[in-house]
Structure 1
Amino acid sequence: MRIGYYAHHHGSGHCRQIDKLAGLLPLENRQQLTVFTSLTSEGYTFTAINEQQIIRLHAEDERADDVLKGRAGEHWQPASLHYSPVGNADIQKRSHQILDTIYQRKIDLMIVDVSVEVAMLCRTASVPYLYVRLPGCRDDVPHLEAFAGALALVAPYPRVLEAAMTPRWVTQKTLYLDFITPTKNNPSTYEDFVKTLMALTDDDKVREAFSASAQIITVIKGYGGHEAIDAKLPELRRLLPNTLIISLGPIDDAMRRYVDIATHVDDVTPFMQHSDYLLMACGLNAVAQAYHQATPLVVLPDERPHQEQEVMAQALIAQGRALSWEQFKSLVTDKHIPANSDKLFLQQIQDDKSQMPSLTSTDYLPAAQAFMSSTTTYSTTKSWFNEWLLPQLNLKPDLGHS
C-alpha cells in the first residue's frame, strides 16, 4: 500500500511524528511514502525520507481577496469545518496539490495529522483516511465528524493516558500506537553526562557541585512557548536553593540568573536519564521522550487549543507518573525542608522511582511497528481494512443498505 501523510504546519511535532513512523518501514516501502505539509524545510529536517517525497503545500492563511473569511460565523460556514474561507486561491491550489498527488502517485491510504478540512476533502473525494487523534477535549462537531469519516483513529500515545471524557465509540475506533521513542544503542553513562555538564560552564562552584554529585533539576522548554515555565524559575530557585538547575531550550534573559546552566542541545536524552527531576510542559513529543525514563516529572502544561496539554498533564498526574506544580510545592513546603536540605527531598523522590511506570523499547515499539508493517503486507486498502484493521479494533461497520 502507498501511504500519504498530511502533517500540520504548527510546530514541528507533526512532521517529526511521521519521520519516526517512516523509520519503522523497510527502505523500499519507506520510499513509497508521501508527506504533505506547508511547513518549510527550515522548520523541520526529515531524516527517514528525502525531499522528493515531500509535497510542500501552499499556505492556508486568509487573504485580503477572500469572498468570506475562514470563520464567518453562524449560517455562513459549515458546522463540520473549523476553518473554511471562500474564494481563497491558496487553499484552492493546496487542495489541487493534495488530490492531484494522491491520484498521480496512486496513494492508497491517507493519514491526516491533523486537519478536519483535509479529512473532509479526502472523504468527499472518496479517499480512505486515518485521523491522528491528539490528546485534549476534542468533542466539537468538526472533530467528531472527522472521526466518523475515518476508517480508524490513530493515537500516538498509550491507552493508559486516554482522557476519561473521551466518548466510548471514539476509543473503540482508536489504534493506540503508544509513544514512539526508539532506544539508542549506546546510552550515555552518568560520567559522560557530568563531563558534558562540565563543558557547559566556567563557574567553579557549579563544577564543584557536579563533581560532588549534587542533585539536578532539568527544565525542558520547546519553541512553541516557554514564558510560562520561565516565570516559575525564581520560585523554583527559592524552593530548592542548593539544587543545580539546568535550562534547555529558549530562556528569557532576565531569568538566566536563576539557573546554573542555560543551553540548547540536540539530544535531551542524557538529561532525562541522569537528572533527578524534570520540569517541563506537556507537548506530545517531549512527553514521549520523558515517559519511559524513570526520572520523576513536574508538569506545567502550556495553553493550547482543545486543552491538549492540560488533559495530558491530568492523565500523567492521575497515573502517578507526574506531579503538578502545586503538588510539587506542597511536597517541599509540607516537609519543612531546611534551605540546605533539598537534596534529601529529591532523594526521597528518587526512592519512589521504583513505583513509577518504566517501560522498555520492547514494551512500546510493537504497536507502532505492527501498524506500519501491516501497510506493507496487504496489496489493497480493502484487504488491509477487513483483514487487519477491523480485527484490531474489534469493530464492524454497518454494511446494511438504506
Structure 2
Amino acid sequence: MRDIAATPDRPFGYFVHHQGRGHAERCAAIVNALPASRPVTVFCAQPSVLGPMPANVTVQQIPSLFERRGDECDMDQLQTPDTLHCAPTGWPGIRQAMGQIAGWFASHDPALMICDVSAEIAQLSRICSVPHVAVLQHGDRSDPGHRAAYDGAAGILAPFSEGLAQEDWAPFRHKMHFAAGLGVSGDLPDRQTARAALGLHPDQKMALVLSGGGGTGFGAAPLGVAARAFPDWQWITIGKLQGDWHATQGANLRHKGWVDDVATHVAAADLVVSSTGNTTCAQVLGAGLPWIVVPEWRYFDEQLCKAQALAGAGAALHLPHLPSSAHAWRAAVSNALQGHDCTAQAALLAPDPAQGTADWLERLSKDLWGTALTLETTG
C-alpha cells in the first residue's frame, strides 16, 4: 500500500515542445513556483530553450518528435489514424524519445505528467497509467487526437484568461485551470525610461511591430507601406521578419530582429502590431496599449482563433493580414486608436499565474493520489 505522506516527494514529469518560446517560458515559471520538495524531470529536444532551472529540476534531452536526422525508414504508405497527429513509422528518434519517457514512467512512478504540448505524449502518459495535465492552446482542436488528450487528462492548463475561452471547450471546462499571463513577467519599465533607453524623443510617436519565434514572421513590404503612410511616426520591428526584394524601407522604419529587451520596446510604444502567440499577447496586454493583431499561420488555426478571441473580448483590433495600402493602414491604425479599451485588456491578466498554477498542480496531485489511496484502503 502506498504511503500518502510520500506523495509530495514523487516527481512531476514535464514535456516541453521546443518550437517557439512560450512552452519553455511557461515551464520555467511553473517549476520555479513549485515547492522545492517536488522533484521535476523535464523532457525537451532542445534544452537550450529552457534556461537555468532550480535544483529540484532534472532536464533530459530527447530526440525531436518531428525533425528528421537521417536514419528514418519512411513508411508513408501507412495511413495515420485520426487519433494521432505526427506519428510516422520507421523513425528511430521518435521510438527512442517515447522509450525514454516510458522508461522514466516505470522507474520513477510520477505523480503527474505535464504535456506542453503533444497529443501523442499525453496519450502515452494515459496508456502508461500516469495521470497527465494537457496544456491547451487556441484553435480548432475538435479532432480525435486532441479530444483523446483532453478527455483522458486529469486536468487542462490554459495559459491565458478565462475571458478568452472558446465555446467548444465546454465539455472539459470543469477540469480547466486558467493562468493568464503565465510565463511572462508583468514588470514593464515606465514609459519615459523606456523611450529614453531607445533614444526616442518624448513626443515621437512609435509603432512597434512584434512577431514571435514559432514561425517565419511578417513580410517586410507591408511595413514599408505603413511607414510611408505615417511619416511622422517611428516604426520599429522586433522578432522574425521575411525579407521582400520589392520592399521600400524609409528612414522611419528600423528592423531590429531578436532583442533582449522586448519589455522596453513594448513600454515605449504608442501602438503595437503583433502576431498572437501566448507570450506576445501577455506582454502587450500588460502594457495596455492600442493593439492590432494579425495572426500568423499555425497548426489548427491557433493564432487565428486567438486573434478572434482577443477581438471578441475588446482587447485588440483583429486583421486577417497586414494592410496592403496606405489608406488601409491609416484606417486600421485609426480604428485601433479609437477603439482602445485598456480596461478590457487589464481584465485578461492575473496577478500571479505561476504560483496559482503551481498550487493547482499540487492540489490536483494530492486529490488524485489521495482518492486512489482511499479506494485502495476501502476496496
Query: What is the one-letter code of the residue matched to 1:358?
Result: A
Cα distance, 1:297 vs structure 2: 1.0
> Does the CA contact (< 8 Å) of 2:294 and 2:319 recur in 1?
yes
**Identical pairs, percent:** 24
Residues 241 and 100 of structure 1, relative CA distance in 2, 3 Å threshold: same
Of 112, 115, 140, the residue aligned with 1:112 is: 115
Cα distance, 1:246 vs structure 2: 1.2
> Does the CA contact (< 8 Å) of 1:109 and 1:381 recur in 2?
no
Cα distance, 1:27 vs structure 2: 3.8
**Whole-Å Cα distance in 1 between the matches of residues 328 and 134 of structure 2?**
45
Is 1:285 matched up with 2:285?
A: no
**Counterpart in 1 of 2:312?**
318
Unaligned runs of 5+ in 1: 199-209, 388-402
**Whole-Å Cα distance in 1 between the matches of residues 20 and 159 of structure 2?**
16
Cα distance, 1:373 vs structure 2: 2.2
Unaligned runs of 5+ in 2: 1-7, 374-379
Of 152, 155, 168, the residue aligned with 1:152 is: 155
How many residue pairs get aligned? The number is 356
Cα distance, 1:83 vs structure 2: 2.6
Is 1:131 matched up with 2:117?
A: no
The residue correspondences of 1:94-113 to structure 2 (distance < 5 A) are 94-113=97-116
**Whole-Å Cα distance in 1 between the matches of residues 266 and 178 of structure 2?**
24
Residues 311 and 294 of structure 1, relative CA distance in 2, 3 Å threshold: same
Is 1:142 matched up with 2:128?
A: no
Is 1:38 matched up with 2:45?
A: yes
**Counterpart in 1 of 2:376?**
none
Query: What is the one-letter code of the residue matched to 1:178?
Result: A
Query: What is the one-letter code of the residue matched to 2:58?
Result: Q
Is 1:262 matched up with 2:255?
A: yes
**Whole-Å Cα distance in 2 between the matches of residues 68 and 160 of structure 1?**
44
**Whole-Å Cα distance in 2 between the matches of residues 28 and 385 of structure 1?**
22
> Does the CA contact (< 8 Å) of 1:281 and 1:300 recur in 2?
yes
Residues 129 and 355 of structure 1, relative CA distance in 2, 3 Å threshold: closer
**Counterpart in 1 of 2:210?**
220
> Does the CA contact (< 8 Å) of 2:74 and 2:91 recur in 1?
yes
Query: What is the one-letter code of the residue matched to 2:346?
Result: S
**Counterpart in 1 of 2:86?**
83
1:46-71 C-alpha deviation (Å, 9 max, x unpaired): 234369711100233466653734x8
SS in structure 1 of the partner of residue 133 of structure 2: strand
Of 8, 12, 17, the residue aligned with 1:8 is: 17
SS in structure 1 of the partner of residue 283 of structure 2: helix
**Counterpart in 1 of 2:32?**
23
Is 1:370 matched up with 2:370?
A: no
Cα distance, 1:137 vs structure 2: 0.7
Residues 384 and 358 of structure 1, relative CA distance in 2, 3 Å threshold: farther
Query: What is the one-letter code of the residue matched to 2:313?
Result: Q
**Whole-Å Cα distance in 1 between the matches of residues 329 and 267 of structure 2?**
26
Of 292, 296, 299, the residue aligned with 1:305 is: 299
**Counterpart in 1 of 2:181?**
179
> Does the CA contact (< 8 Å) of 1:277 and 1:297 recur in 2?
yes
Of 53, 57, 66, the residue aligned with 2:62 is: 57
In terms of mean alpha carbon deviation, does 115-124 or 319-328 score higher?
319-328
1:231-284 C-alpha deviation (Å, 9 max, x unpaired): 320221233221111111234386582443332421211222231100111111
Cα distance, 1:304 vs structure 2: 0.6
> Does the CA contact (< 8 Å) of 1:299 and 1:324 recur in 2?
yes
**Whole-Å Cα distance in 2 between the matches of residues 160 and 378 of structure 1?**
23
**Counterpart in 2 of 1:188?**
189
